Structure 1
């Protein structure tokens, strides 16, 4: 890894596509040195590390290397995700655990890796990704909604714990977003659903990335907040 002199370091999980990819692009344009963590190479980030965010040892090793070679991680954005519509009766234990490992475990692993350094320096920002389905729920989304709900709990509790040290923790809860995570035949893409949204369209990943940038750079008063760019899907 070759450092970009003077640039702040931001780590983004799920950076190979969708919201994560849009986030590394937005932060890079704002002068951040971006490091994408994903199962696949993150071509839009300045640096890419391929790993499984649900593996604490892999995440810890990656953060140690990043901070050794690039400098302190000042922003950590946990956008890695997994989505599937499955009725309750068809959800196996393996799928339950996968949802929790990726969403809750991925955020927890990143937090445990970056928090000690942020606390020692007296500043830093962490953003977890939840969903409007964690608030509103939906047919066939029990395991996804449950996993995303745990993210809100972690973010708010950790925000209260770390605020006195100068470290801010917040969350973003997008509504249906126009990314590859939504299959072409997804019910969230049906014209009948899109017409019901007050904004009349899906959110774009670039718009969600602007929400990330706001919490990272401008929303310095935001602690334990859940920002919801959702085209009015949950009001």
Structure 2
């Protein structure tokens, strides 16, 4: 039976990349610690999910899910040939995260997509990507230099969950992406754009809380998106616990 919880368990997907630490230099499942700090500060218990084994099977044990940023998705998944600037493709991560995403949507698990996470959601629902945004918008402001975030304003759409979380006025947020939504996936609504027209956030209309942003909220001072995810995870868990209490199995 479900039990009340103080900290909802929030799964966060990870990278697998070469890394150097102390005396070691070897492949590592890793995640920028900013995600951990944001989830913890928001009241959640972060659990890292590497792209190995069967991560989709974990969804029923999670109260919420974050698909984190990372390298580009194999364009074959949306019927395109690779652009010369499409890079850091990890097909094993694609396989794991698309399965994880599908399971989370089916379970109606509260979900936050970050950068690549938005793109996984969009492609999973039949959408496509612009593979190199400077070709479309004519500037590099969304990814100004390797390892450096670009501050650009986005405008949340009135009436959206995002606007309720962040407010309806334009807000400057940290960007680091050279790809973005082209054709929108089925059931998604655009809930923020940048001044150059780039789609910067989407929500899945049929889901209680499936919000995805193209920027990097983990690098922002404001933790409102993580707080909203944790609040929705707590609410969903409380509802499940109440239902289990009223209708215990076998009675």
TM-score, scaled relative to structure 2: 0.41
Structure number with the higher helix fraction is: 1
Structure number with the higher strand fraction is: 2
Q: Which structure's relative contact order is higher, taking Cα pairs within 8 Å and 6+ residues apart? A: 2
Query: Which one has a bigger Cα radius of gyration?
Result: 2
